[in-house]
Structure 1
């Protein structure tokens, strides 16, 4: 009985350690209440978030100007001199607009060249319906409140501190591009601290942006002593392979300025949606952002920022209670070699003790790999099966449903059940000890691959070292102390348990298979504890019960409700030239809002793909009544004085006759334009790769309109070119326009994010011929 209680307590403690591995990632919001020693008031920060997120405020809207005025007023009330920077920008993807940045400076006592600290976030919300509380109202509030405390406490600082609230981040980082290209302060920046969000909750990840090595940056970050650092070289390596850029990316690419950016990514189903509201913002996530800036701004405002660049790379990771740990890439191979030698030595010792034979060692390794693949296959196809049972999930473009955490728990539990039941079928009694080296061997193989191809994950070797200690104890003693085994398992739990949730949260539920793989690998390192439970299959049964309950909870939350709203879309397209009109939608499945306009048999003729995060295409189209919608006035001029024999030069002016939010221009992708300018602006180019040449699609230009400004295109064409230029104008006022009577959405619906929505679109075609 005593032995049973001890084993049970160890399992309970293991569960507590898993909980601690998540709980210690970010602070409690109460630590940043009005009375906290730092002076940062989360209550004051919340007032900013509430004000900023009263309405959707994407670029070009009235609310966007109101948010800008509010931020300017708050800075001026602190005694700062504020300037706004407005101008045309054309990015490398062919997105053109007129952003208006908000910029101020806190002068340092002894500023020097290339040593200004820049703190930034963006103040525009995602088009068209996001309230922008998290993305990035939380960043604006964090910066405003930190500045207030910084100035009130008169914290001494040598470096200038530039505060920049960029505009047009959501449509293509245009505000950051404007600042880098045209503002003189961009020439003297040594480091950027950038605050972002990709959801409405969860811990805030620290990511580095640098063209050089990271060693000095991460050393400085560690010295700044942020209380809740969440930073790993794994995330640094993953981020570099993903296409998700931030404003800081522009400063790195164009000015070689390194940066840290901080972003929380959980509750991803709120990202860019109408549910990105203050009510849904996790207060602990906001506090986590505050914990970074309140520690880093005073430190880097007094540091020599010109010394942060390095050719060397470091492996780094955070560990509860120890903070940031880091070491040079030069140690990766030596540590791996030592681990392999230890594994081989302990295995030889075990064979000599006749704990197992070389053949049984190989057999157990094969079995573990089989278990790994079986679990991964079951989870992959299991989620595909689940996904097909709920066709409404197809309209969730975020890739993470509101019941997604139940699916993570369910499929992790299924994975654990597979492992426990396989172990019970393969091994019995004393034979369980023979299973211990197999996961270690697989982990060493993984670390070998990591050391060659993905060095940022090289800190994976440390739980393996502690696993080797447990391996030795089991071989050395018949019954090693369970608490000692548990102690040596702590690094594996703290480093790997959060990763099991991170990948499907950050990359979508399609990545549940990675959670499954990490679960098997983690359980393999914990097997020295579980082999002492002879009836290990009962743990598998318990996991199946947990999985069943989780799937049931996910099912109960799958239906759309006021909290879990169905995203849908409706657009009206008027073909001016053909005098025809159409209803369009991006929805895979119709609902009460859209079914009045479409049937399941409707075919899509309009195959244009407007600018959107996921390049979404229309799914339904049906005839509509022609309405009196004002089309653009277009004027084409050919420069007859142009002297190049092989080309002709043109100027096209497009003047909107109504208030539009966006203009999209398309041309035959075989047509190459030369010296393409938009209102006098050219796009930054990487060597000869520019957006208007060698296009993979017909998309030429996206213009996010401001104040009905006329669009002027200057370009050259090869003689003999003839093609149709398609011009689409869109206004996000379908639900308010007096020409239409659209029944409002019910409370269990919301506008579909990431795509053009609730819009009135006009289509015009202009034939261009270069003689």
Structure 2
């Protein structure tokens, strides 16, 4: 009986350690209440978030101006001199708009060249229905409250502190582009701290942006000593391979300014949606952002920021209770060699003691590989089956559904069940000691590959070292203390458990296979504990029960409801040249909101791809009544004085005659434009690709319109070219326009995010002849 209780307590402790590995990542928001020693008030920060996220406030809206005025007033109430920077900004993807940045400076007492610290976030919300509480109202709130505390405490700082709330981040990082290109303060910045969000909860990840090595940056970050650092060189390496950019990317690319940016990414289903509200903002996430800035701002405001760039790279990771651990790439291979030597020495010792033979070692490795493959295949095909069983999931563009966490629990549990049941079936009646080298060997192979091809994950070697120690203890002693084995398993639990959840949360449920692999590999490191459970298959049964409950919960929350709203879309498209009109949608499944506008014949007439994150196309179109929507006035002028024989020069002015939100220009993909200027701006020619040449689609330009401003295009085209310039104007007022009577969405619906939505679109064609 004592042995049963003993082993049961080990299992309970193991479960508690897994839970602790997640809860240790973020601070308790109560630590940032008004009475805390830092002086930071999370209550005050929440008031800022509430005020900023009262309405959707994408660029060009009335609410956008109201948010800007609020931020300016809050800064002025702190005694800070504020300026705004407004102007056209054209990015390298062909997106132009008129951002208005909010900028201020806290002057240092001993500023020097290239040594200003910049604190940054953006204040516009995603187009067009997001309230922007997390993305990035949370960043604005944390910065405003930290500045208040900083000034109240009269903290001395040598460096100037530049505060920049950028605009138009959501449409193309245009505010950062404007600041870098036109503001003189951009020339003296040594480091950027940028705050972001890609969801509404979870721990805030620290990512480095640098053109050089990370060694000095991470060393300085460690010295600043934020209390809950969530930073690993794995995330740094993954981020460098992804296409996602932030405002800080613009400063790195154009001014070689390094940065840290901080972003929480859980509850990803709220990202850019109408559910990005204050109610859904995780208070722990807000506190985590505050923990970074309250520690880093005083430190870097007094550091020599010119010394942060280096050629060398570091492996780094955080560990609860210890903080940041970092070391150079030079010791990756020596550590790997030590691990291999340690492993081989234990294996030789075990073979001499006749615990297993060389043949049984190879056999156990083969079986463990089979378990890895089996669990991965079960997860892959299992999720494919689920995805087809619930057709509503196709409406989710994030890749992570609102019940996604239940699928993580389910498929991780299924993977663990596969492990324990396979072990029972394969090694029934045999000593499980002989299985211990197999997962260690696989981990060594993984670390060998990592040390060559993906050095950012080289810290995986440390849990392996402790796994080797447990392996030795089991081989050396017949009945080692399970509490000791559990203690040496803590590094594996604390490092790998959060990663099991991170990949599907951050990159979508299609990454569940990665979670499955990590789960099996983690159990492999914990096998020195589990081999002491004679009826190991009961653990498999337990995890089947957990998986079943999780799948039932996921099923219960799969249907659209007031909490899990169905995203939908409806657009009206008027071809002014043909005097024809269509209803259009991006939905695969119609609902009560948009189904009245479509018939069985819903052929897509216009396959245009408007500017959006996922390059979405219309899924259905249906004929509609032509309404009196005013199209733009277009003026075309060919420069008759332009004598160059190979090309012809044109000027096109497009003047909106109604309040629009955006304008999109398309032209035949085969037509190359030369020396294109948009409202007097041209693209930087030091870029490898010029957006208007050698295009991979018909898209030429996207203009997010402000105040009915005219769009002017000056360009050259080759002599002999004849083509149509297609001009689409869109206003997000379909539901308010008096020409239409559109029913409101019910509580179990929300506007489809990421796409042009609730819009009235006019299409005009302009024939250009360069004969």
TM value normalised by structure 2: 1.00
Alignment correspondent of 2:272:
272
Deviations 1:615-658 (A, max 9, x none): 01110100000000000000110011112111111100000000
Secondary structure of 2:595's aligned partner: coil
Alignment correspondent of 1:406:
406
Q: How does 1:587-598 map to 2 (within 5 A)?
A: 587-598=587-598
Alignment correspondent of 2:569:
569
Work out the CA distance in 1 between the residues paired with 2:574 and 2:686. 37
Secondary structure of 1:519's aligned partner: helix
Work out the CA distance in 2 between the residues paired with 1:263 and 1:79. 29
Work out the CA distance in 1 between the residues paired with 2:510 and 2:561. 23
Secondary structure of 2:383's aligned partner: helix
- C-alpha contact 1:428 1:534 (8 A) present in aligned 2: no
Secondary structure of 2:717's aligned partner: strand
Alignment correspondent of 2:558:
558
Work out the CA distance in 1 between the residues paired with 2:205 and 2:685. 31
Q: How does 1:265-304 map to 2 (within 5 A)?
A: 265-304=265-304
Structure 2 stretches lacking a partner, 5+ long: none
- C-alpha contact 1:340 1:444 (8 A) present in aligned 2: yes
> What is the CA distance between 1:769 and its match in structure 2?
1.1
Alignment correspondent of 1:182:
182
Deviations 1:501-530 (A, max 9, x none): 000000011111100000000000001111
Alignment correspondent of 1:73:
73
Alignment correspondent of 2:656:
656
Further displaced range: 427-436 or 693-702: 427-436
Q: How does 1:133-212 map to 2 (within 5 A)?
A: 133-212=133-212
Q: How does 1:367-766 map to 2 (within 5 A)?
A: 367-766=367-766
Change (3 A) 1:687 1:132: closer
Work out the CA distance in 1 between the residues paired with 2:170 and 2:684. 19
- C-alpha contact 2:84 2:103 (8 A) present in aligned 1: yes
Change (3 A) 1:248 1:432: same
> What is the CA distance between 1:685 and its match in structure 2?
4.1
- C-alpha contact 1:204 1:288 (8 A) present in aligned 2: yes
Alignment correspondent of 1:261:
261
Work out the CA distance in 2 between the residues paired with 1:319 and 1:173. 34
Change (3 A) 1:392 1:599: farther
Work out the CA distance in 2 between the residues paired with 1:683 and 1:291. 39
> What is the CA distance between 1:599 and its match in structure 2?
3.5
Work out the CA distance in 1 between the residues paired with 2:631 and 2:601. 31
Secondary structure of 1:379's aligned partner: helix
Work out the CA distance in 2 between the residues paired with 1:436 and 1:309. 44
> What is the CA distance between 1:687 and its match in structure 2?
4.1
Secondary structure of 2:714's aligned partner: strand
> What is the CA distance between 1:598 and its match in structure 2?
1.6
Work out the CA distance in 2 between the residues paired with 1:166 and 1:683. 20
- C-alpha contact 1:395 1:588 (8 A) present in aligned 2: yes
Secondary structure of 1:596's aligned partner: helix
> What is the CA distance between 1:603 and its match in structure 2?
1.4
Work out the CA distance in 2 between the residues paired with 1:344 and 1:642. 78
Change (3 A) 1:519 1:599: farther
Work out the CA distance in 1 between the residues paired with 2:278 and 2:769. 53
Work out the CA distance in 1 between the residues paired with 2:700 and 2:351. 68
Deviations 1:256-286 (A, max 9, x none): 0000000000000000000000000001100
- C-alpha contact 1:572 1:581 (8 A) present in aligned 2: yes
- C-alpha contact 2:273 2:751 (8 A) present in aligned 1: yes
- C-alpha contact 1:121 1:195 (8 A) present in aligned 2: yes
- C-alpha contact 1:616 1:755 (8 A) present in aligned 2: yes
Work out the CA distance in 1 between the residues paired with 2:644 and 2:299. 57
Change (3 A) 1:456 1:294: same
Work out the CA distance in 2 between the residues paired with 1:351 and 1:67. 71
- C-alpha contact 2:157 2:301 (8 A) present in aligned 1: yes
Alignment correspondent of 1:57:
57
Secondary structure of 1:574's aligned partner: strand
Secondary structure of 1:327's aligned partner: strand
Question: How many residues of Structure 1 are paired with residues of Structure 2 in the alignment?
Answer: 771
> What is the CA distance between 1:218 and its match in structure 2?
0.2
> What is the CA distance between 1:408 and its match in structure 2?
0.4
> What is the CA distance between 1:81 and its match in structure 2?
0.7
Deviations 1:525-560 (A, max 9, x none): 001111111111000001000000000000000111
Further displaced range: 444-453 or 422-431: 422-431
Alignment correspondent of 2:89:
89
Deviations 1:394-416 (A, max 9, x none): 01111111111001000000000
Alignment correspondent of 2:325:
325
Secondary structure of 1:193's aligned partner: strand
Work out the CA distance in 1 between the residues paired with 2:189 and 2:643. 43
> What is the CA distance between 1:10 and its match in structure 2?
0.6
> What is the CA distance between 1:4 and its match in structure 2?
1.1
- C-alpha contact 1:429 1:534 (8 A) present in aligned 2: no
Deviations 1:63-84 (A, max 9, x none): 0000000000000011111000
Runs of 4+ in 1 over 6 A off after TM superposition: none
> What is the CA distance between 1:768 and its match in structure 2?
0.6
- C-alpha contact 2:601 2:622 (8 A) present in aligned 1: no
Work out the CA distance in 2 between the residues paired with 1:38 and 1:564. 38
Work out the CA distance in 2 between the residues paired with 1:528 and 1:149. 50
> What is the CA distance between 1:434 and its match in structure 2?
1.0
Work out the CA distance in 2 between the residues paired with 1:100 and 1:316. 37
> What is the CA distance between 1:601 and its match in structure 2?
4.4
Work out the CA distance in 1 between the residues paired with 2:734 and 2:421. 57
Alignment correspondent of 1:116:
116
Deviations 1:33-63 (A, max 9, x none): 0100000000000000000000000000000
Work out the CA distance in 2 between the residues paired with 1:411 and 1:62. 46
> What is the CA distance between 1:605 and its match in structure 2?
1.4
Secondary structure of 1:491's aligned partner: helix
Work out the CA distance in 2 between the residues paired with 1:111 and 1:176. 23
Work out the CA distance in 2 between the residues paired with 1:234 and 1:430. 38
Work out the CA distance in 2 between the residues paired with 1:656 and 1:513. 50
